[in-house]
Amino acid sequence: MNILIKSAKIINKESKYHNKNMDILIKNGTIENIAKSIKSCPKLIAKGKQIVYKADNLHVSAGWFDLHANFGEPGYEDQETLSTGINAATKGGFTGVMVMPNNKPCIDNKSMFNFIKNTVKNSIVDVIPAGNITQKGEGNQIVEMHEMHKAGCIAFTDDKKSINRNEVMKIAMLYSKDTESIIMNFPCDKSIANNGFMNEGKTSTLLGIKGIPCLAEEIMVDRDLSLCEYTNCRLHISYISTKNSVIKIKRAKAKGIKVSTDVALYNLFLTDTEVNNFDTRYKVMPPLRTIKDKKALIKCLKEGTIDVISTDHTPITNELKKIEFDNAANGIIGLESAFGLLSKHIIPQIGLDTLIDKISTNPRKILKMKEVIIQEGEQANFTLFNPDLEWVFNASDIESKSCNTPFIGQKLKGKALAILNNGKFKEC
């Protein structure tokens, strides 16, 4: 199958065609030609062997990659399956996702890693399973990292189950250094968080809801940065959410510590005041913080301290979400609405080029994956999009098995139009 993309503005800093409007011809998944004008072939079109794609204000970038997504399967197929998760990613314009090991059984051994990898083989979306750091994600016993790494595992995390035992985290970091993999940890000191449900502050006090102080995150950031410096491993701090945390990470980077970090997109434009009506749709982890924290995150995103924006796509059934606030599960689905929200709220503050770095280039760099460059001879891994298209996010736009999102009915700006990856093309 040949695909001819007409008059697309290329957003790819690694490409010599960056910020230029070009035609792009792809043959059998490889970029054959990039030029100002490439003629289509009516004979091939008539035979169904060539697709010509054009759209108003068409932009193309390296395929977007989400660093944190939850697909549920196996064990939680009522929330999401690998198939519906891939559909959600496709709808949102993502050609790659890293899935968290929040399964049952979890991804704490080579067999489970291979099960996920083999199930999603040949998909248009690259699904990269992260392995657990500890057995069953319980935070006690390190998994067989070397064996899992040999099977292809490049990142280890217990996701939202923060590793609180110092000696366990130290050993995990030393093992990861040996395998040249990366440790990803969610910074939350459980003893200080003390089973809270939202950000500790004015709003939690007024509502009478038990809060999670920023200190729970910041103490763990300090711990992880110290261990990272001691072991000289690669560390990724997941879901950063407070002003003091990003200040600490900025200082660590200046010292040469091998640390990267991401922020969940909802922490960039929502605050804890959204919870005023006990709306469980806004119950997330890390919790929504204050305006002060939000502004600090945006600033550090722009200057490069924060490397990646993740969706933290977390499907939850109505039975677990539409209940009392204290008992409701944390999480928002995010793949389908991600770019529309980011284009609306974040591009005006950091620019389109920087946003694409955060959702495409940087996640792959952190994982040491092959760089995606839009030039002749390279494999085509594209997201096609219109950054200015205004549209309303409706329930019909959700491909996920769950619909736990507060954004239904909201007007968004910017939309993925199609993706191209692994020799396959699909409109979003």
Q: What length does the chain have?
A: 428
Which tokens in the block code for residue 49? 């062997």
User: In whole angstroms, what is the distance from residue 336 CA to residue 44 CA?
Assistant: 33
Angle (nearest 5°) at CA 233 between 231 and 238: 115
**CA angle centred on 264, ends 261 and 265, rounded to 5°:** 125
Helix (H) or strand (E) holding 96: strand 94-99
Task: Answer for the pair 5, 26: CB distance below 8 angstroms, yes or no.
Answer: yes
312 classed as catalytic: yes
E-strand stretches of 271-373: 308-310
Structure tokens given for 36? 């100002």
Angstrom CA distances, 86 to 89, 100, 249, 367, stand at: 5, 14, 33, 20
**CA 328: distance to chain centroid?**
23
List the alpha helices (DSSP H) in 52-101. 82-92
Cis (ω within 30 of 0) for the bond into 286? yes
Which residue intervals of 120-213 are DSSP H helices? Answer: 145-150, 166-179, 190-193, 202-207
Q: How many Cα neighbours within 13 Å face the side chain of 427? A: 6
Tokens 């998994």 sit at which residue?
143
Tokens representing residue 8 in the block: 């697309």
Contact 110, 147 (CB under 8 A): yes
* Cα(292)–Cα(428) distance, integer angstroms: 36
Question: Which of 66, 159, 293, 312 is labelled catalytic?
Answer: 312
Amino acid identity of 395? A
Enzyme catalytic residues: 312
